[in-house]
A and B are shown apart, each in its own frame.
Chain A
């Protein structure tokens, strides 16, 4: 086997310029896949990380029907206290769950005594919320960033509203909300911090303590709008989702119907569509790489066979079997693909390292600048190289088979 690859290498170096150009083309294709893959994965990872770690959590559990009318923040679709207790037991029994946080979501009016504006709010348990969305406090641009996330009597005001109402930490505001019965209630709160907005629904919501939310909405028992869940291993999201959905679906109401529905972050954030588009683009670039490899290796191998017909006749005449002639040409294509892809993978990784040093900044959303930290996993590099080698083998197969099928007597006559 080694001798075949040794001879294949010698033959590749016979037409140095042609092999070099083809190899360069293949290597450039691999570089494009590695660099685009690294950049897009880094971008996706940053945005998804921000969405899940500072806002949505990995999964959310709602009462059935809540998500379909989530824009209205319907209080009548809250999870009742007894059902929440059952849900808590189920979540605590699930090994994949790292933490969970109940939230009361509602709409209200926020006033600085001069101006009033509408606001969407989350009433949260600060300790639990801190564990489910640890990066929420990173969004606090001004105000307290250490200690409890939020205390009773405090509000974390969203940046845009804070600007409109000219709020700063320490200011007093009035929050007015309508409860389920239609009666209006209000409480006075102190601004604990200003929250930077993030992409997606809920990215411009304010936060108050869950006790304040219950008091404002006159909730006798602790009923919640949603329970955000953080998993121990985000990479096993699909598997954990299936397990959690199965566990939760066993919780029935009096009518014997499932009470809850589970959603992943992707079901709740429109960024999932952008992430999907990025994935499609990555696949598209891989297809272009496949086409480049296929055409260039096929071309170089067809030329190679055409130019060496008499040599093939000689090899056959001195006893080389058709199978070995096929192997010789197949090995040539494989060697070209393997060397080019390894060089491309190394160059691509090097380029990503340089990009990391330089720091690539991407603006996304409302003037939000992300500094990408592109990287590539070893298994991804191996996967790309394997694709190239496989396509090189496929591209070489037809010319190699043609070489093996040549009649020695015809081949020897070839000029």
Chain B
């Protein structure tokens, strides 16, 4: 059974007097452990598609199933709990919490979302920090890190809860090519090690090649695979 399944999904926005159709009748399936890229020019609907799979938004039509759960009808609280349980996120601008250290940022989902006791938090935090090579920097604050380091911390934060699926919206857009390759390589390594499914959006052709499955969006419609 596919980890992610979309059936005839559409998303419309009302922008003033104009109705914008961001996604049109998208149907796709993504299997467990896949390393998937969604590509397309700006405004093609990549972020909208990731937001819908990540339960951050609701579809205007169609159904979305993630890890066996129909996520289209979840309430805000149910969606938050589901995200905390099954999903991990990596953002273009890293979105680390500036008042927390590297270790505390990684620890945050275990502490505030999973309410795990301290003794149980130590080991997974150390493990993912080690995996992304940030153990030495664990006491630094985000403003003391480079862009690449920040994104490695963000990947560690996304993986610390051992989620089924990690969604990364343009994770390399703010990074130079070398660092971008390193971050994508890191994500792929994590997939290989943990079996976590990764879906990332990008319009950078240099890193698209790293993906094993590519979905191509244009004007909100899936045009190629």
Residues of A within 8 A of B (CB): 3, 7, 10-11, 13-14, 310-311, 313-324, 407-409, 412
Contact = CB atoms under 8 A, between A and B. Distances in A.
Nearest to B87: A319
A314 B97 contact: yes
B77 A320 contact: no
A301 to B, nearest CB: 16
B48 to A, nearest CB: 9
Contacts of B80: 316, 319-322
Given A3-B112, A408-B56, A409-B56, A318 B99 contact: no
Given A311-B97, A314-B97, A321 B109 contact: no
B83 A319 contact: yes
Contact of A318 (B77, B100, B157): B157
B145 interface: no
Given A317-B83, A320-B80, A320-B84, 15 more contacts: A7-B100, A10-B99, A13-B99, A314-B89, A315-B97, A318-B157, A319-B84, A319-B109, A319-B161, A320-B113, A321-B81, A322-B77, A323-B77, A409-B56, A409-B57
B51 A409 contact: yes
- Kindly name the residue among A3, A319, A412 whose own CB sees the greatest number of chain B CB atoms within 10 A: A319
B16 interface: no
A320 B56 contact: no
Contact of B54 (A10, A11, A311, A317): A317
Given A3-B112, A409-B56, A314 B91 contact: yes
B87 to A, nearest CB: 8
A318 B56 contact: no
A11 B98 CA distance: 9
- Kindly name the residue among B85, B98, B99, B161 whose own CB sees the greatest number of chain A CB atoms within 10 A: B99
B186 to A, nearest CB: 19
Contacts of A412: 56, 91, 95
Given A323-B77, A409-B51, A318 B113 contact: yes
Interface of B: 51, 54, 56-57, 76-77, 80-81, 83-85, 87-89, 91, 93, 95, 97-100, 108-109, 111-113, 157-158, 161
Query: 4 shortest A-B CB distances, which residue pairs?
Result: A319-B84, A319-B113, A10-B99, A314-B95
Nearest to A413: B47
B143 to A, nearest CB: 11
Given A3-B112, A412-B56, A412-B91, A321 B97 contact: no
Contacts of A324: 112
A315 B157 CA distance: 12
Contacts of B93: 310
A13 B80 CA distance: 28
B108 A318 contact: yes
Contacts of A7: 99-100, 112
A158 B98 CA distance: 76
B113 A3 contact: no
A319 B81 contact: yes
A101 B201 CA distance: 95
Nearest to B97: A311
Contacts of B83: 317-319
Contacts of A311: 95, 97-98
A45 B95 CA distance: 60
B77 A321 contact: yes
A96 B166 CA distance: 76
A101 B100 CA distance: 73
B99 A14 contact: yes
A322 B112 CA distance: 12
A410 to B, nearest CB: 9
- Kindly name the residue among B54, B93, B97, B113 whose own CB sees the greatest number of chain A CB atoms within 10 A: B97
A94 B176 CA distance: 91
A277 to B, nearest CB: 48
Given A316-B80, A323-B77, A14 B56 contact: no
A267 B54 CA distance: 73
A221 to B, nearest CB: 84
Contacts of B76: 322
10 contacts: A7-B100, A315-B97, A317-B89, A318-B109, A319-B109, A319-B113, A320-B113, A322-B76, A323-B77, A409-B56
A320 B95 CA distance: 14
B213 to A, nearest CB: 23
- Kindly name the residue among A13, A14, A310, A315 whose own CB sees the greatest number of chain B CB atoms within 10 A: A315
Contacts of B57: 407, 409
Contacts of A315: 97, 112
